[in-house]
Chains A and B, each alone.
Chain A
Amino acid sequence: MEPCGTLILLNFNGGLELLCRSTKVHHVDVELKPGADGLIMKDLLCWIRTNLIKERPEMFMKGDSVRPGVLVLVNDCDWELSGNLDTRLEEKDEVVFISTLHGG
């Protein structure tokens, strides 16, 4: 692993894993943008879109955020509590993307 990136544990659930070769857990090393002093959620989403989501990106994203109906959790906390797209990520943080279920 390159030492210059940030190691993040990604978890796709609720059907979102189907967009990443049906794999739920991804250990990824996200390189920082030139000049950036740290990784934020906005950059992570860009990175995921480029590197992980192989098909139907519209099922994951809308604009530069996630699509409606996807909950984003940073270390088991709703990202609305930590700044949404501006949430600052640190080494070994865990980010969970979960699509809400409606079945019963």
Chain B
Amino acid sequence: MSNKRGADGNNSGCSCDGGAVFSYDSSSLELEIRRLEAEKDLIEARIARLRLQVEGGKSTGGVTAGRIDDARNKAAGEEQEKGEGRANMNGPPFPTASVCGLTPEMIHRYSRHLLLPSFGVDGQLNLSKASILVVGAGGLGSPIAMYLAACGVGCLGIVDGDNVELNNLHRQIIHTEAYVGEPKVKSAAATCHAINSTVRVVEHREALLASNALDIMSQYDVIVDATDNLPSRYMISDCCVVLNKPLVSGAALGLEGQLTVYHYNGGPCYRCLFPTPPPATACQRCSDSGVLGVVPGIIGCLQALEAIKVASSIGKPLSGRMLLFDALSGHIRIVKLRGRSLNCDVCGENSMFTRETFQSFDYENFTQSPFFPSSNEGLQLLPDTDRISITEYKKRVDSSEPHILVDVRPAHHFQITALTNSISIPLSSLKENFAVIDSAMDEIKQGTGLDASIYVICRRGNDSQRAAKLLHENGFSIAKDIIGGLESWAQEIDHSFPMY
């Protein structure tokens, strides 16, 4: 990944940046030297092979069929043992592309694949002719795209409309610091190109939506769902059914992951399993619930594997079965799923679901959750009179208003960071802890003779409203919610306050 090793904000992608080398420290210089030496070795090996080809052509006057077979066996690892090794170098050249279909470069690069009896030349050839689309260049998409590029898929498409963010790099290993703020697809494509410049990487720098999905997905043989939200999952599955393409689907959250292949060889689609979407409140997100970086990495690797199996027609893809991964207990379970549902709205016998239906289908409304989770703000549970802005709260603090600040985030959030003098009472245990609030208020009353006000805060201002409502219902009618929570404190009052 030499093309983006700089941490100096030079994001020029795949440029040949020899002239700028002196701006790096000695360790990156050494890295660059090693990379160039490796390149040199590769080029020398290529020259040597071409020389052999030229000489072989001269001495044998052409390649006979028997000799091609010899060479092919050699490439496939059936080379006879010792002694002959060196001599063979002067014998017949590597097969030409027209014989086994792979070029000498491909035979060299993918030799370890070719050595696998169950994969071999056929598997590699199929792969080299296949096109695979990875939807999402995040935690799942990172290892998927890297492995698909490395393994020599013919064409690799990546679609994503987001930019690289620093707090995603713990799991989105295809991106580097130098690309923070740049489109994820640009960054991912640069990494893939650095791994394997012979693979055609197509960049789709836009979010996949019902309006563009047919156009984009129809260009590929296999679709890999590496997205992070519910409407996308329904949309991608529906589109795969409409276009009749296999879908490799993976998901990860917290310390768990799930994986299956939909609409493959008569198997079920996503809707066969989940005809009705779950309530929006049941949908957790990585940005709220957290995710251990390596967990999507593992699921992504398995998705790459399934995509390779489907694209190269080897093995038994995970269709009609689902793999469940529990990182904490170290359990992997593979369960048997129902078959395709004849009554499925999309893939069923009497389905009326067409391209037109697809394009006009409102997936956000259907799932009651947004394509872009960050736009999911603005729960309004309380009247404005029961809420105050963060700047108003700051004013009251500055004027020494006697008050207590209840932080209702879970305890492990409070441990990360908190405002000074706030009391931690997680929303889930608020009911059992009204006495804590009572005694805090009594203390202020005794100290100042004044009645304390109550403010409730959380990370973004949703749970704090639920908490304030609960407090109102239990006699604390003066409790007020702080709009926007700690996030707005960090944005508007104290830029050094750490946000997570």
A residues apposed to B, CB below 8 Å: 13-15, 24, 55, 58-59, 67-71, 73, 76-78, 80-81, 96, 98-104
The one of B229, B250, B336, B338 in contact with A76, judged by C-beta atoms closer than 8 angstroms, is B336
The one of B229, B251, B279, B333 in contact with A58, judged by C-beta atoms closer than 8 angstroms, is B279
Find out whether the CB atom of B335 lies under 8 angstroms from the CB atom of A77: yes
Q: In the complex, which residues of chain B have a beta carbon less than 8 angstroms from the beta carbon of A81?
A: 336, 338
Find out whether the CB atom of A102 lies under 8 angstroms from the CB atom of B228: yes
Tell me if B258 is interfacial: C-beta within 8 Å of chain A.
yes
Find out whether the CB atom of B278 lies under 8 angstroms from the CB atom of A99: yes
Tell me if B233 is interfacial: C-beta within 8 Å of chain A.
yes
Complex Cα distance, B228 from A102, in Å, reads 5
The one of A13, A68, A71 in contact with B276, judged by C-beta atoms closer than 8 angstroms, is A68
The one of A24, A55, A101 in contact with B258, judged by C-beta atoms closer than 8 angstroms, is A101
Total contacts A-B at CB 8 Å: 102
Central interface residue in B256, B326, B334, B428, by most chain A CB within 10 Å? B256
Complex Cα distance, B283 from A63, in Å, reads 20
Central interface residue in A14, A58, A100, by most chain B CB within 10 Å? A100
Find out whether the CB atom of A102 lies under 8 angstroms from the CB atom of B256: no
Tell me if B274 is interfacial: C-beta within 8 Å of chain A.
yes
Tell me if B291 is interfacial: C-beta within 8 Å of chain A.
yes
Complex Cα distance, B289 from A99, in Å, reads 14
Closest to B337 in A: A78
Q: In the complex, which residues of chain B have a beta carbon less than 8 angstroms from the beta carbon of A100?
A: 251, 258, 274, 278
Find out whether the CB atom of B278 lies under 8 angstroms from the CB atom of A15: no
Query: In the complex, what's the smallest C-beta–C-beta distance from B9 to chain A, in angstroms?
Result: 28
Closest to A60 in B: B282
Known: A78-B335, A100-B258, A104-B296. A59 touches B282 (CB 8 A): yes
Closest to A25 in B: B329
Complex Cα distance, B274 from A99, in Å, reads 11
Tell me if B484 is interfacial: C-beta within 8 Å of chain A.
no
Find out whether the CB atom of B138 lies under 8 angstroms from the CB atom of A104: yes
Complex Cα distance, B246 from A98, in Å, reads 24
Tell me if B139 is interfacial: C-beta within 8 Å of chain A.
yes
